[in-house]
Amino acid sequence: MQKLDRRTFIQQMGTLSVLACLPGAVLAQIVSRVPPQGLFDADSTAEQVTAGLDLAGKTYAITGANSGLGYETMRVLALRGARVIGIARTMDKAEEACSSVQGQTTPAFLDLADFESVVNCASMIRGMDMPLDGLICNAGVMALPERELVYGMEKQFVVNHLGHFILVNQLMDTVMAAPQGRIVLLSSRAHQRAPREGILFDDLAFEHREYDSWTAYGHSKLANALCSRELARRLSGTSTTSNSVHPGVINTNLGRHMPWYIQWAGKLLGWTFMKTVEEGAATQTYVATSPGLAGVNGYYFADCNPDPGETPQMQDDAMAGRLWQLSQELTRDYLPTPTTIPA
Residues labelled catalytic: 211
Q: Which residue is nearest to ligand NAP (CB)?
A: 68
Q: What is the DSSP string of 100-124?
A: TSSSEEEEEE--TT-HHHHHHHHHH
Measured CA to CA, the distance from residue 252 to residue 281 in angstroms comes to: 11
Give me the least distance between CB of 241 and ligand NAP, in Å please.
19
Determine the Cα–Cα distance for residues 243 and 136; give it in Å rounded to an integer. 10
Residue number with CB closer to ligand NAP (163 or 295): 163
Q: Could you say whether residue 70 binds ligand NAP (CB under 6 A)?
A: yes
Asked if residue 218 binds ligand NAP (CB under 6 A), the reply is no
110 vs 235 by CB, closer to ligand NAP: 110
Judged by CB under 6 A, the residue of 27, 31, 166, 186 near ligand NAP is 186
Query: Does residue 282 bind ligand NAP (CB under 6 A)?
Result: no
Q: Is 113 among the residues that bind ligand NAP (CB under 6 A)?
A: yes
Q: Does 247 bind ligand NAP (CB under 6 A)?
A: yes
CB of 75 within 8 A of CB of 92?
A: no
CB of 262 to ligand NAP, least distance (A): 13
| Separation of alpha carbons 212 and 200, rounded Å | 14
Site stretch for ligand NAP (CB under 6 A), options 2-10, 128-136, 233-241, 243-251: 243-251
Which of these segments, 99-107, 124-132, 136-144, 308-316, binds ligand NAP (CB under 6 A)?
Answer: 136-144
Cβ pair 186, 137 in contact under 8 A: yes
Nearest to 225 by CA among 195, 199, 200: 199
DSSP line for 7-38: HHHHHHHHHHHHHHTS-HHHHHHHS-SSPP-S
Distance between CA atoms of residues 210 and 221, nearest Å: 19
Task: Based on the shown chain and the rule CB under 6 A, indicate whether residue 159 belongs to the binding site for ligand NAP.
Answer: yes
The angle that helices 163-176 and 213-235 make with each other, rounded to 10 degrees, is: 20
Answer for the pair 36, 292: CB distance below 8 angstroms, yes or no: yes
Q: Which of 4, 27, 64, 293 is close enough to bind ligand NAP by CB under 6 A?
A: 64
Quick one: which segment of 63-71, 125-133, 225-233, 234-242 binds ligand NAP (CB under 6 A)?
63-71
66 makes contact with ligand NAP (CB under 6 A): yes
d(CA 181, CA 65): 19
Piece of 11-19, 109-117, 126-134, 320-328 that binds ligand NAP (CB under 6 A): 109-117
Using CB under 6 A, list all residues that contact ligand NAP: 63-64, 66-70, 88-89, 93, 110-113, 138-142, 159, 186, 188, 246-247, 249-250, 252-254
